[in-house]
Structure 1
Amino acid sequence: MTTMAGPRELEYLAGVTGAIKSAIESVIEGKPEVVDLAVTVLLAEGHLLVEDVPGVGKTMLAKAMGRAVDCTVRRIQFTPDLLPSDVTGVSIYRQERHEFEFKPGAIFANIVVGDEINRASPKTQSALLECMEEHQVTVDGVTHRLESPFIVVATQNPVEMEGTFPLPEAQRDRFMARVSMGYPSANAELDMLGHHGEHDPLAGLRPACDANTVRSLIAVARAVYAADGIKEYVVNLVRATRSTPELRLGASPRSALHLLRASKARAAISGRGHVIPDDVQALAPLVLAHRLMPSAEAQLARRSPADVLTSILGQVPVPAPRVATSSNGSWPA
C-alpha cells in the first residue's frame, strides 16, 4: 500500500520551503516565480536549466540556492578546454602503493552549479549524462554513487551568442525544467543597486535547512497522491506533442515522468496532498518546451515550442474533479 503525505508532513514541508525561498529571495530581487520553480525542481529530484543573456542573475540564483541549503556545493565553470575528467574525476596511479586512486571531480556534490554550460564542447557536456540520469559516475569501469540530494543547476547563454555550443538533445531532456530569468522590474533593479552595491548579498545568507532535511522533504513530495485521471492527463499532453505537425520532435517518456514529479512537488509546496490539473498546466511549459523542436513550417510562422504547447493545453481535455475512492483512483476535489 502506497504511503500518502499527511497534513503534518505537508505543514512541515511548507514551512521549510518557505524559509528556503525567503533566503534565496533575499539575494534574487523581484523573481518569485523563478525561485518557486527552483525549489520545486529540488524537491522533485530534478535538474534546472537557467537560460538568458549575461548579467541577469543566473549564476547568482544557482549560488544562492546552494547557500540556502547547508550541503556540499561545487561550481564548474564550463569553458571550451574543459575536459570530461574535470567533471567526473580521474584515476591516478600511486606508485608507492601499486594501485589506482580515484580523485572525484567537481560533480561530487549535493548541488552542482554549472556556469555557462553551453560554452563547453559537446564531449564535455556529455560527461553529465550518466550523472544527471542515474546519479552515479563510472570511471575506468568502476561505478561511484552520488550522494542524495543531487541537483545540477546549470546556466546557459542564448546559442546566438559567440562561443556557445547547443546542448545535445539527450542532455536537454535530462533537465527537468528550463526557466528564463528575464530583466528585473525598475523597482527591483533599483533595490538591487541599493543592496548589492554596498555588500555581497551572499555573504549574509544563512542556510535554511541541511541535506538530511531536504531528503525528508523529497520523500514527502514523492508521497503526494496523483490519481489515474491526472496521470492520463500528463500522458495525453506528452503524446499530443508527438502528433502535432508543428513539432518535428515531441516530448519523451522521461518528460512525462518529470512533469508528474514536478506537479507532486508543486502540490506539496502548496500544502496539498494531491495533484490537481492546475499543477500540471502551470508546469507543462517549463518542463516540456525545452525538449521540443519546431517544424520548418512553425519556424517560418514564428511559432515557438511554447506557443505550440499553449495550443495543446487548450485542446487536450482536462479531467473533471471527483472524490477519490480506493476503486476508481480519481483525484480529490
Structure 2
Amino acid sequence: MSQVDDLQAVAQDIRAAAHTVIEGKPEAIELALIALFSSGHLLIEDVPGVGKTMLAKTLARAIDGTAQRIQFTPDLLPSDITGVSIFNAERRDFEFKPGGVFATIVIGDEINRASPKTQSALLEAMEERQVTVDGVTHPLPDPFMVIATQNPIEMEGTYPLPEAQRDRFMLRISMGYPARAAEVAMLDHHGGGDPLADLRPVTDAARVSELAAGVRGIFVHAAIKDYLVAVLDATRHNPDVRLGGSPRAGLQLLRACKTRAALHGRHYVIPDDVQALAAPALAHRILLSPTAQLAQRSVEDIVRAAVDSVGVPDRD
C-alpha cells in the first residue's frame, strides 16, 4: 500500500470511531483529521454544550495519545500551562515540573476565559513545539496538537484571542447544533452513559506522526500555489478588511490542502482543496474594518468573495 492508502485507512478508522461518539458532525470530524495529519492546531468556537470538548477528547482517545485538559479560567497562570522549576531539597537543585502542555493532544477548554498573558503562554509551544522555562528548553511530544475551544466573544467573561494567537491555529471550526435526527440518536445512544467509555484506540501517536510526515510529499503544481496566494492577496485588498491572511496562513492552508488531497486518495492538490479549506483556514485570521463590523459583515463572506474573485487555474 502507498502512503496515501495508509493514511486513508487510518483516517477512516479514526472517523468511524469518532462517529460513535459525535453524532451528525462529519464536517467537524473531517476538519479535525485534516489538522491532525497536517501537524496543525485546531480552534473550535461555539456556544457551550454542543460537543467541542467531546470532539477533542474523542480524537485523543482514538489515537491512543496522552491527553491533557487545561481549563482556562481568569486566575490561570502561565506556569500552569508550561510548567515550573521547583527546588528539590534532597538533591539541592531545581527540578522541572511539566505543565499541562506536555501531552500529545492538549485540550485548551474555553481558552478565551483566561487573560491574554496566560493565552500567550501557548505561543512558543504551538509554534516551536517546545517550552522554555528558566532558560532551559524542553521539547514537546511528537505529534503535538492543541485543540482549543472557545465561547463566542459576546459571552460574559471572555477575552478575545490576540491576533498572534489566532494565527497559530491552522483551522477554526464551529460545531453548531445537531440536526434533529442526530440529536434524537444522541439521546438514544448516549443518554444512559459516557460515550467515551467504550471507545478504543484505532491507531497510535507514532503512526500518526509517520503519516503526517508523508503528507508533506504531496505534489502541488506551481499554478495551484499561485492560485492560493492570489486568494490570500484578495483578502488583503478587500476594503472591508483591516488585516488579511498572513504568509503563515498561506503555508498552513497549503499543508491542510495536501492532507485533504491525501484523504481523498490523491497524490496532488487541486483547486477544490483550496476552495474547501479557505474559510476554515483564513476566516479566524482576518480582522474587519470598523465600517464592516458596523454593517455586520461576515468574515466567512469576505473569504468566499476572495475565492470567487480569483480565476481557477486551467487543468492543463
Q: TM-score category by the smaller chain?
A: over 0.9
Residue aligning to 1:294: 288
Structure 2 equivalent of residue 113 of structure 1: 107
Shift of 1:16: 0.5
Correspondences of 1:160-309 after superposition (within 5 Å): 160-309=154-303
The answer to whether the Cα contact below 8 Å between 2:240 and 2:288 also exists between their aligned partners in 1 is yes
CA distance in 1, matches of 2:237, 2:51: 37
Cα displacement (A) at 1:236:
1.1
CA distance in 1, matches of 2:179, 2:136: 50
For 2:71, the equivalent position in structure 1 comes to 77
Residues 234 and 309 of structure 2 are in contact (CA less than 8 Å); yes or no, is this contact kept in structure 1? no
SS at match of 1:202: coil
Code of the aligned partner of 1:109: A
Q: Indicate yes or no: 2:141 matched with 1:141.
A: no
1:50 aligns with 2:50: no
User: Runs in 1 of length 4+ with deviation above 6 angstroms?
Assistant: none
Partner residue in 2 for 1:125: 119
CA–CA separation in structure 2 for the residues paired with 1:204 and 1:96: 43
Distance in 1 (CA, whole Å) between partners of 2:179 and 2:90 is 61
Q: CA deviation at 1:297?
A: 2.3
**Residue 102 (str. 1) matches residue 102 (str. 2):** no
For residues 269-298 of structure 1, give each alpha carbon's deviation from its aligned partner in whole angstroms, at most 9, with x where no partner exists.
111000000001000000000000111222
| 1:11 to partner: Cα distance | 1.1
Give structure 1 stretches of 5+ with no counterpart.
1-6, 323-333
Quote how far apart the aligned CAs of 1:217 are: 1.0
1:76-122 CA distance string (max 9 Å, x none)? 11111110000000001112222111111010011001111111111
CA offsets, 1:7-61, max 9 Å, x none? 6221111011000011111100000000000000000010000000011111111
**Matched AA of 1:255:** A
Give, as a single letter, the amino acid of the residue that structure 1 aligns with 2:116.
P
Question: How far off is 1:240 after superposition?
Answer: 1.5
**Structure 2: gaps spanning 5 or more residues:** none
Amino acid at match of 1:301: A
Structure 1 counterpart of 2:16, one-letter code: S
Coordinate RMSD, CA, aligned? 0.9
- State how far apart, in whole Å, the 2-side matches of 1:97 and 1:53 are: 48
Q: How far is the alpha carbon of 1:300 from its aligned partner?
A: 2.9
TM-score normalized by structure 1? Answer: 0.93
